[in-house]
A = this chain, B = another copy of it.
Amino acid sequence: MDTRDRIIQSAARLFHEQGYAATGVATILREADVNSGSLYHFFPSKEALLENVLDSYLARLYPEIMEPMEKSEPDPVSRVLKLMDWYTGFLDENGCRLGCPVGNLALEVSDTHPQLRSLIDRNFENWTSIIHGWLEEAGAALPAGCNRRALARFILTVMEGGVMQSRAAGSTVPMEQSVEQLKSYFDALTRQAAQELAPIARSA
């Protein structure tokens, strides 16, 4: 890996573990085994470095997380449910630490750094668009009148909110309970969709 990529990788890891403000440039330099001059040769500032970290997150979401999901699970609704479990598992594997690198930055820098805010937003939009695609792919498995864009947003909302509480609790319980509720909502939606398709059938 070349110097530039090594800097981005180290910065990404440290920003994720410690946050943006709490991470010193000196620590990034040590971690990447690079001198300060090299870092400032590639990036004009610490903020610009974070911009590149966010760019790399944006570029990697689909090929590294979403595309493998598509290949391992053909049914779009099951795939969405699987994704929820994947996030819960990720949280568990890390002992309820770290969480979402983009979400962390969203709350830390959105108000004070407009440029970064917009890049974070693009990351969220990208995530939402992919899931939106899956939900459209689900076709009649979801109710016809269901706002699938809003539903995709809602899934991200629940993932981020659940992760936040689980990190604070030091336990996966809040995340699991949130996912349980979201799945119960999904159940209601798919049941409604099934009824729309077969309006004659009735439950006892």
Contact = CB atoms under 8 A, between A and B. Distances in A.
B170 A165 contact: no
Interface residues of A, dominant DSSP: helix
14 contacts: A17-B111, A21-B21, A97-B111, A107-B167, A117-B167, A153-B165, A153-B181, A154-B177, A156-B161, A156-B165, A157-B164, A161-B162, A164-B164, A181-B185
A191 to B, nearest CB: 9
Interface in A167-188: 167-170, 174, 177-178, 180-182, 184-185, 188
A202 interface: yes
A147 interface: yes
Contacts of A150: 177-178, 180-181
Given A147-B177, A180-B147, A185-B185, A106 B160 contact: no
Interface residues of A, number: 49
A110 B98 CA distance: 9
A107 B107 CA distance: 8
A37 B106 CA distance: 35
